[in-house]
Each structure stands twice: as structure tokens, then as C-alpha cells.
Amino acid sequence: MRSKMDDKVFYALVTAVVVIGGIGIGVAYSYTSSHPVTVQATGPYYLTMVVTPNNPYQINATFEHRQPSYFIVGPNNTLESAATINLPAHREIILTIIDYDSGPTPNIGPTGTSNNTTYTKVIGTVGNVEYVYNSTIPVSSYSKNTTQIQKPEAISQIPWYGNSSWGYNITHTFTILSGSTILVNIPSWGGSTTVAYLYLNNTGTYNWQCFVPCGYGNDGWGAAMVTAGWMTGTVNVQ
């Protein structure tokens, strides 16, 4: 396990990465402490998450440097662990996932060798869609009079990337499970920002998990994929 000093170094590194990335979207982050973000009493609940791709993860005496991790952007833009996520029941939740990871994958599902398209689909959101901001909306002209608007596109499934066997253009999912039942599945299009609107109708404690094998080992299911706060954790619906 990591020591406290290592934690500080680690979060400083992550904060630096996010700050550099955040310039592009006009947001600055700073890390103060790691604690579950409390839910305010009324109104829509905004949950903003960041995925950074190349975090160092200690395995025995060495670091695996290519482990992805979710983080929560907390109050005042603090960066918090995603190990425990508190969400309100019976209220609109506006979930934003800012994903700095990229690259397609052919393998999605419970094992690294399965190719389960379920997890490429948007499940449990309003309209069963998510809104993807990825700057790939084509413009008709590149003249100086044309402004390329970063317009969100509503999608119900992440598409296959390319004509060959490259894979789905998906880097991670944010999936909330009740036992083995999928309550919410929000696939992330690599390098994009995704916004989804959803309601959770039952209070309780659930697990969240990414189902793109993005972690350590031959099957991609080690390290980040099985470590709370990285690619898995707990959701408390209150």
C-alpha cells in the first residue's frame, strides 16, 4: 500500500495533470483532502468526474504507470476520491465525466476476452441517452466565418471505431450495479466529455464499476479495476 507521503506526491501529480488538462475547459482543480462529497438538500445534483489515464499504481516494489482512475470534482473544485460516491434519490442528477483517456478497445465486459456490447449502451438515464462533447461535429466549411461549435451529440451507444477490428471507441464505463443488475451504464467516449441526466429511485448501497478492462495484467482486470476509487467503488443513494 502507498504511504501518506506517497499519497501527497501522487495527488500532486494527478492535480498537475488535471490542472494542465483543465486549462482547456477553463477549470482549475486543487487537491485538499479525500472525503465523500455530501449531497445538498435541494435542486439538481451535479456530479462531475474526471478520468486520468496514466496514474502510478504500486505493485510490489515497482510502479505500474499506466493505471487509469476516476476522481470526483468536489465543492470549490477540489479533487476527491471516487471510492465512495453519495447521490440523492428521487432527484435529478446531472453527471459529467471528463475523460482524458483515449483509444478504442475490442474487449468489454466481465472478462478481458469477452466482447459484451451491453456496456457500450447507455442505460438508466433520461431517454437512455448521454450527451457527448468531443469536437468531432463536422463543419461544412473551414472559412473564417465559420465557428466550430462544440455541440453535444446525444448517443445511445458508443460506436465501433473504424472499419476493421479496432474496437469500440470506449475507454471506460461508469456502471452502477444492484447485485448483477445494471441500474446505470454510462460509457465514455475516449477523449471526450460526457453529460448524462438520471434519477435514482431507490435508496441503498450499490457498487460502481468500470467494465472496460482498463487495468493491469493480461486480461486488464487487475490494479485499477479492482481498487476502490480507481475503477470501482461504492455508491450511497440517500
Site for Cu ion in 148-187 (CB under 5 A): 172
Question: How far from 194 is each of 197, 206, 219, 229, CA to CA, in Å?
Answer: 10, 22, 26, 19
Q: How far is the CB of 156 from Cu ion (least distance, A)?
A: 20
Count interface residues toward Cu ion (CB under 5 A): 5
In this chain, which of 132, 210, 235, 237 binds Cu ion, going by CB under 5 A? Answer: 210
Q: How far is the CB of 168 from Cu ion (least distance, A)?
A: 13
Q: How far is the CB of 216 from Cu ion (least distance, A)?
A: 12
Residue 72 or 214 having the CB closest to Cu ion:
214
Question: Contact 29/22 with Cβ under 8 angstroms?
Answer: yes
Stretch that binds Cu ion, among 78-86, 103-111, 153-161, 211-219 (CB under 5 A): 211-219
Picking from 125, 174, 181, 190, the residue whose alpha carbon sits closest to that of residue 154 is 125
148: three-class secondary structure by DSSP: coil
Residue 109 or 199 having the CB closest to Cu ion:
109
Question: How far from 117 is each of 122, 131, 171, 186, CA to CA, in Å?
Answer: 11, 19, 13, 13
Nearest-CB residue for Cu ion: 210
Task: Tell me if 231 contacts Cu ion by CB under 5 A.
Answer: yes
In this chain, which of 72, 85, 214, 223 binds Cu ion, going by CB under 5 A? Answer: 214
Task: Tell me if 122 contacts Cu ion by CB under 5 A.
Answer: no
Residue 171's CB: how many other CB atoms inside 10 A? 25
Residue 88 or 209 having the CB closest to Cu ion:
209
120: three-class secondary structure by DSSP: helix
C-alpha cell at 151: 455541440
Distance, CA of 87 to chain centre? 16
Residue 74 or 187 having the CB closest to Cu ion:
187
Q: Where do contacts with Cu ion occur on this chain (CB under 5 A)?
A: 172, 210, 212, 214, 231
